[in-house]
């Protein structure tokens, strides 16, 4: 089944479920998950400093490793899960519900983050896996991972809701606008282009009609 190109609409939204509870669960205010995950990381980081025997330098190293690991998870999820090939009707429905609707309505601020309930379940699963693999080191590693996610949410919200800044961060706006408005099969990294360079999915185009908020040139 050939994927049907989605033309971005720069206003409006779309109802995904007739059930109002299910529909409500597909939306969130960005402040909810960002606050939740920054706070979770802070508490676990405090625990790492005060209730483990790990050296400060080692905690910092683990935290940094967690951030880098998240950037890879962000890239892989976006490329391999959110952009899954819609080869069957079921896969096409999954792809549209989880991500395609965002490509169709990229300015819908209520769908710029994963619903908190689902995000908490996934985050708890990741923490459980990390704890099984590395023991108490997870108390330092996971804060970096979850702060990486909170940072990603912040960046993703900003690139869709605000004009780009006039500094080096403007590149993040340009990169994501290429993904949305020129070629959805490139530039999968939102918070960082690192893994796009590593895996050859970076697009070097600089001048695009972005459809981003006014002020972008």
pLDDT tens figures, 54-94? 999 999 999 999 999 999 999 999 999 999 998 899 999 99
Domain count, the chain: 1
For residue range 172-205, what is the model confidence (pLDDT) as tens digits? 999 999 999 998 899 999 999 999 999 999 986 5
Q: What is the CA radius of gyration of the chain?
A: 18
Residue 9 lies in a domain: no
Residue 191 lies in a domain: no
Domain extent, residue 115, equals 27-162
Residue 216 lies in a domain: no
What confidence category does residue 38 fall into, taking pLDDT thresholds of 50, 70 and 90?
Answer: very high
- Work out the angle at residue 99's Cα, subtended by the Cα atoms of residues 94 and 102, and round it to the nearest 5 degrees: 140
Residue 174 lies in a domain: no
Helices (H) and strands (E) in the chain, counts: 9, 0
The separation between the first and the last C-alpha atoms of the chain, rounded to the nearest angstrom, is: 37
Residue 116 lies in a domain: yes
Residue 21 lies in a domain: no
Residue 113 lies in a domain: yes
**Does the pLDDT of residue 207 top 80, yes or no?**
no
**pLDDT of res. 205:** 58
**Does the pLDDT of residue 161 top 50, yes or no?**
yes
């Amino acid at each position: 089944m050939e994927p049907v190109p989605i033309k971005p609409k720069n206003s409006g939204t779309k109802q995904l479920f007739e059930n109002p509870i299910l529909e409500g669960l597909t939306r969130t205010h960005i402040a909810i998950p960002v606050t939740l995950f920054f706070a979770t990381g802070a508490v676990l980081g405090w625990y790492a400093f005060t209730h483990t025997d790990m050296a400060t330098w080692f905690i910092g190293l683990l935290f940094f490793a967690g951030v880098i690991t998240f950037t890879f998870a962000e890239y892989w999820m976006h490329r391999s899960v959110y952009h899954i090939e819609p080869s069957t009707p079921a896969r096409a429905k999954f792809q549209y519900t989880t991500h395609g609707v965002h490509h169709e309505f990229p300015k819908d601020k209520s769908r710029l983050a994963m619903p908190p309930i689902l995000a908490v379940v996934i985050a708890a699963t990741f923490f459980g896996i990390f704890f099984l693999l590395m023991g108490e080191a997870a108390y330092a590693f996971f804060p970096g991972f979850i702060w990486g996610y909170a940072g990603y949410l912040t960046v993703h919200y900003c690139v869709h809701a605000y004009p780009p800044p006039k500094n080096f961060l403007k590149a993040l706006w340009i990169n994501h606008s290429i993904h949305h408005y020129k070629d959805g099969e490139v530039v999968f990294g939102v918070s960082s282009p690192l893994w796009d360079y590593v895996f050859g999915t970076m697009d070097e185009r600089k001048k695009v009609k972005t459809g981003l908020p006014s002020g972008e040139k």
